[in-house]
Amino acid sequence: MARRKISFCSFNLFNLNEPGLPIYKDTDGWDRQIYDLKIAWTAAMLRIMKADVFGFQELWHADSLAAALRAAGLDGDYTAVVPPGHAGQKIVCAAAVRSEILTGMPVWIEAFPEDFILRSGGDDRQTGDIEVLIDSFSRPVLRLTVRPHDDAPEIVVFVCHFKSKAPTQIFRERWYDKTVHGRHAEAIGGALSTIRRTAEATALRMILTAEMKGTGTPVVVIGDCNDGQHSNTQNILTGQPRFLTTLSVGGGDTDLYSAQTLQQYRSERDVYYTHIHNDSRESLDHILVSQEFYDNSRRRIWAFDGLEIANDHLNADDHKLSGTGDHGVVRATFVHRPAAGAVG
């Protein structure tokens, strides 16, 4: 097999579940009419994007994804990658992969690496102690592998979904005192969500470093990271690589390059956004690639061919009634074009 192109898509399914099953505190879930609208809209997005690898967030039920793939007419060519027995119990990351390129067995990573630790006494006497006890992902990270070209190495794909920016609700905590903490609940909850999201980014960064360092393994991270391109969590995740000028070559062994930035290099204007909250347009959904996908890398195997975003549906005010998602759908495409001397 020698596919000339490979494309990856990040697609938040906005709590896709079978009708009548509970979603968080909503014990009734989607009614049949809304569910049918969600399946129809999801199928339309699948047909429009038609990526080789779809990375999904917020999937509650395997049957719902199967229904969307059937409605899109893709079930014969794609394999749904979903945890065994996934039937509405919880929210997970999932995938749909063109069957001919899927290799190996998928793995859902729940626990942080054994050597993960976030504890410090501070850099100087003015800095107090800090310790973070989180040891698992709130949404398990999916790891899968694909091989679109016989003369190129297998590609490792991670699909992630980090803690949202929504403030963590603290009123159920044993220490919570409404008279003391009530007026600060939003600030405290926001800080807790940020700490959790930062810990998750750090844990995945450690997993990525172990996967990439000194191996030459092409890696793609697809995710609703719930943070912007230049946020601290994204900087932790990517390693903040230096994007080189046109005639320069290099590349970082464990760095990840944002497809958003790669597209911006080719655009006269940045209009990238995947989420709207309080009229603020943000880029929360990302496709990050290792140096094997970076044009200016000496180890380039796949060259960037463009990025597309379907986000017109974000103008709808009520996604629960329209059946639309509340995130933009992002696709990045790469063409097989190895640099001189690169493997593949």
pLDDT per position as a tens digit, 109-126: 999 999 999 999 988 889
Give the model's pLDDT for residue 342: 75
| Per-residue pLDDT, 270 | 58
Residue ranges of domains in the chain: 5-108+140-165+219-336
| Residue 96 tokens, joined | 């749909």
Check residue 279 and give its pLDDT: 56
The verdict on domain 5-108+140-165+219-336 having CATH code 3.90.1150.10 is no
> Coil, helix or strand for 60?
strand
Residues 6 or more apart whose CB falls under 8 angstroms from that of 116 comprise 135, 202, 203, 206
CA distances from 265 to 245, 251, 258, 337 (A): 10, 16, 11, 19
Predicted pLDDT at 343: 67
Kindly report, residue by residue over 227-240, the tens digit of the pLDDT. Answer: 878 889 999 999 98
Question: In this predicted structure, what is the pLDDT of residue 276?
Answer: 54
Mark the ranges of the chain whose per-residue pLDDT is less than 70: 244-248, 268-271, 273-282, 317, 343-344
Are residues 259 and 243 in contact, defined by beta-carbon separation less than 8 angstroms? no
Give the model confidence (pLDDT) of 244-262 as tens digits. Answer: 666 567 788 999 999 888 8
Per-residue model confidence (pLDDT) at position 278:
57
